[in-house]
């Protein structure tokens, strides 16, 4: 099948037509008369970009979130209560699992408590995960089912029997008690998420899934491999392999898996590690006490010893790392450990995920080590409203996207389901740097429109040695496209946010059509 998009503004080209088959782009130019076309899409002068790449998110977690209760729009405990009630008497749901609340957006301005959840429903386990994924509130039944009996208040593992608050690594123990998932249900969640991502123009993701809803990775891996083999995925997945224990990571390596193993649909990416929590939950690990809670600095989820063990094993097996760091102290730990374990002249694309609270000296070290940065410009929306109040002067050189972009490789993403995988919003935030209240956040760190687009397309693929035919509209490249109703490069910057995704094409097939879905 020979296909064409005609009449288009093509990103990175002065021509207006693209001819492609299922494998690749065959021709870009103005004379398409020599091709016998089976299908033609008239772009009506709209703009075509390479399909978007969300370089850090949780595809399976997103699908699971879509299938469970979504608390994102809750503005009060009453809103939360009415959502929970929709499942309280439904036998299909032995657990009530919900995600997405943010207490800063609730009228009560505080976390809901165990007692309040018990009042809503006491005979089913309920657990509500905060939008950031680093805090969970359980009712009595959920605490019991998870095997908790006493308070624990250790770094990286918190259970409070009184309030029902569970955080960081303790969340894994709640997940382990959830109804068992199998390859079939996992595949369904993945497909649900793929479809939604296509609506945002996404055709590739860097995704951390192995232990996002299960405590073992085997079935998740099997589900992805099956879907990839059957060519059912409607986007490309670069798996950010995340493990509960070093033993699991060793088993994975001994089974023959390592970096770049896979195909064009599902490929093993870097080793994912989580160093600290989130800024919103005050669990990001800072070098100073929190400005708005002087009792805490946050904490690290991995000890120095654990971090070093994971990092050295990864280096030894030629697997790059992608480490979640939000607070500057967590970043110190990673940079120091990297200095210790790094192999000279190593060309592995090692990287940092989030890289939010940074000091000037740290930016220099990141650049010197050429670490890849997986940023989330969309976080500016909420984080900008709390940043100064949380971290005080540590905000000065934070969210330093431009400094990083111009000196090392930066790719962008949403960390979905923390935020929705809304690439247009991500581009708007990267370029305009305005938070939800309209305040500017370190304006000098704004990306240009082209930098922002590239951070969501070609740059994501740069971490893989195998993906050198994706992320660009050029002959020989994969036919993955997104058609937008506006030309991002010519419209006024304050109009970027109004841009709409009209069509998404993956492997030459239309996977989302705005007007067909109406």
Q: Which stretch binds Zn ion (CB under 5 A): 21-29, 101-109, 117-125, 411-419?
A: 411-419
Residue (49 or 62) nearer to Zn ion, CB: 62
Q: Which stretch binds Zn ion (CB under 5 A): 32-40, 158-166, 388-396, 413-421?
A: 413-421
- Candidates 276, 415, 422, 428; binder of Zn ion (CB under 5 A) is 415
Closest to Zn ion by CB, 418 or 503? 418
The CA distance from 47 to 44, in Å, is 9
Total residues in contact with Zn ion, by rule CB under 5 A: 1
Minimum distance from residue 220 beta carbon to Zn ion (Å)? 15
Residue 445 found at the interface with Zn ion (CB under 5 A) = no
Other C-beta atoms lying within 10 Å of the C-beta of residue 162 = 9
Are the CB atoms for 47 and 495 separated by under 8 Å?
A: no
Residue 360: CB minimum distance to Zn ion, A: 26
What is d(CA 18, CA 38) in angstroms, rounded to the nearest whole number?
A: 13
Which residue, 415 or 445, is less far from Zn ion as judged by CB? 415
Q: How far apart are CA 437 and CA 152, in angstroms?
A: 37
Q: Which stretch binds Zn ion (CB under 5 A): 1-9, 225-233, 399-407, 415-423?
A: 415-423
- Bridge partners (DSSP) listed for residue 97: 127
Strand partners, 128: 98, 137
Shortest gap between Cβ of 375 and Zn ion (angstroms)?
Answer: 12
The residue nearest Zn ion at its CB is 415
**DSSP letter (8 states) at residue 315:** H
Nearer to Zn ion, 208 or 467 (CB): 208
- Identify whether the C-beta of residue 159 lies closer than 8 Å to the C-beta of residue 129: no
Q: In angstroms, how far is the first alpha carbon of the chain from the final one?
A: 27
Rounded to whole angstroms, what are the CA distances from 504 to 41, 199, 203, 484?
A: 12, 7, 8, 9
Which 373-402 positions form the footprint of Zn ion (CB under 5 A)? none
Q: Tell me the closest approach of the beta carbon of residue 383 to Zn ion, in angstroms.
A: 14
Name which of residues 352 to 371 contact Zn ion (CB under 5 A): none
Binding segment (CB under 5 A) for Zn ion, from list 75-83, 84-92, 160-168, 407-415: 407-415
Closer CB to Zn ion, 62 or 481, in the complex: 62
The string of DSSP letters for 27-41 reads EEES--TTS--SEEE
Quick one: 262 or 277, whose CB is closer to Zn ion? 277
Distance CA 470, CA 264 (A): 10
Angle subtended by helix axes 246-254 and 304-316, to nearest 10: 10
Q: Between the CA of residue 149 and those of 121, 157, 229, 260, 304, what are the distances in Å?
A: 20, 14, 44, 43, 29
DSSP-derived secondary structure letter, 3? E
The first and second tokens of residue 216, run together, are 């073992």
Q: Tell me the closest approach of the beta carbon of residue 419 to Zn ion, in angstroms.
A: 10
**What part of residues 282-311 is at the interface with Zn ion (CB under 5 A)?**
none
Nearest CB to Zn ion, comparing residues 59 and 314: 59
Smallest distance, Å, CB 376 to Zn ion?
9
Q: Tell me the closest approach of the beta carbon of residue 67 to Zn ion, in angstroms.
A: 19
**Rounded to 5°, angle at Cα 102 from 100 and 103:** 145
Contacts (Cβ under 8 Å, ≥6 apart) of 175: 211, 213, 214, 215
Rg (CA), the chain: 23
Q: Which is nearer to Zn ion, 205 or 458 (CB)?
A: 205
CB of 313 to Zn ion, least distance (A): 21
- Of 109, 99, 124, which is closest to residue 77 (Cα–Cα)? 109
Q: How far is the CB of 42 from Zn ion (least distance, A)?
A: 39
C-beta closer to Zn ion: residue 239 or 415: 415
**Cβ closer to Zn ion: 121 or 334?**
334
* CB 333, min distance to Zn ion, A: 18
| Alpha carbon distance 4, 509 (integer Å) | 11
CB-CB neighbours of 450 under 10 Å: 13
- Taking contact as CB under 5 A, which single stretch among the options 148-156, 161-169, 306-314, 410-418 is the one that binds Zn ion? 410-418
Q: Which is nearer to Zn ion, 54 or 415 (CB)?
A: 415
Region binding Zn ion by CB under 5 A among candidate stretches 158-166, 172-180, 408-416, 444-452: 408-416
Residue 19 CB, shortest distance to Zn ion, in Å, is 38
Cβ(249)–Cβ(313) below 8 Å: yes
Which residue ranges make up the site for Zn ion (CB under 5 A)?
415
């Amino acid at each position: 099948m020979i296909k064409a998009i005609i009449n288009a503004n093509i990103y990175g080209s002065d021509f207006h037509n693209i001819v492609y088959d299922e494998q690749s782009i065959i021709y870009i130019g103005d004379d398409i008369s020599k091709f016998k076309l089976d299908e033609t899409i008239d772009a009506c002068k709209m703009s075509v970009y390479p399909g978007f790449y969300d370089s850090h998110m949780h595809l399976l977690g997103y699908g699971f979130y879509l299938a469970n209760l979504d608390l994102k729009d809750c503005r009060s405990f009453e809103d939360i209560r009415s959502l929970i009630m929709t499942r309280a008497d439904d036998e299909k749901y032995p657990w009530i699992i919900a995600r997405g609340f943010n207490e800063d957006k609730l009228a009560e301005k505080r976390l809901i408590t165990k007692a309040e959840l018990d009042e809503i429903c006491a005979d089913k386990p309920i657990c509500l995960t905060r939008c950031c994924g680093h805090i969970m509130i359980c009712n009595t039944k959920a605490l019991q089912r998870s095997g908790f009996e006493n308070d624990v208040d250790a770094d990286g593992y918190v259970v409070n029997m009184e309030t029902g608050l569970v955080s960081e690594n303790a969340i894994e123990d709640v997940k382990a008690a959830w109804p068992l998932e199998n390859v079939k249900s996992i595949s369904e969640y993945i497909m649900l998420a793929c479809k939604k991502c296509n609506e945002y123009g996404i055709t590739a993701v860097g995704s951390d899934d192995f232990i996002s809803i299960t405590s073992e990775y085997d079935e998740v891996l099997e589900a992805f491999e099956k879907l990839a083999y059957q060519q059912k995925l409607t986007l490309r997945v670069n798996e950010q392999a995340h493990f509960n224990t070093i033993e699991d990571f060793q088993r994975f390596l001994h089974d023959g898996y390592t970096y770049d193993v896979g195909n064009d649909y599902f490929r093993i990416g870097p080793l994912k590690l989580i160093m600290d929590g989130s800024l919103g939950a005050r669990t990001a690990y800072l070098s100073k006490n929190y400005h708005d809670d002087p009792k805490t600095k946050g904490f690290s989820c991995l000890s120095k010893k654990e971090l070093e063990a994971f990092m050295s094993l990864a280096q030894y097996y030629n697997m790059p790392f992608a480490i979640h760091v939000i607070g500057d102290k967590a970043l110190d730990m990673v940079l120091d450990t990297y200095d210790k374990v790094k192999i000279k002249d190593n060309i592995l694309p090692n990287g940092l995920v989030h890289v939010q609270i940074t000091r000037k000296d740290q930016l220099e070290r990141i650049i010197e080590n050429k670490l890849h940065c997986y940023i989330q410009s969309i976080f500016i929306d909420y984080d900008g409203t709390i940043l100064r109040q949380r971290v005080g002067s540590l905000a000065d050189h934070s969210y330093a996207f431009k400094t990083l972009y111009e000196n090392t490789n930066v790719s962008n993403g949403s960390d979905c389901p923390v935020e929705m995988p809304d690439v247009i919003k991500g581009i708007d935030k990267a370029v305009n740097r305005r938070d939800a209240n309209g305040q500017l956040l370190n304006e000098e760190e704004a990306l240009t429109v082209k930098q922002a687009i590239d951070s969501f397309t070609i740059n994501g693929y740069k971490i893989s040695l195998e993906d050198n035919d994706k992320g660009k509209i050029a002959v020989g490249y994969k036919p993955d496209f997104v058609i937008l109703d506006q030309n991002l490069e010519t419209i006024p910057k304050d109009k970027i946010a109004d841009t709409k995704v009209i069509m998404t094409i993956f492997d030459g097939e239309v996977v989302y059509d705005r007007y067909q879905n109406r």
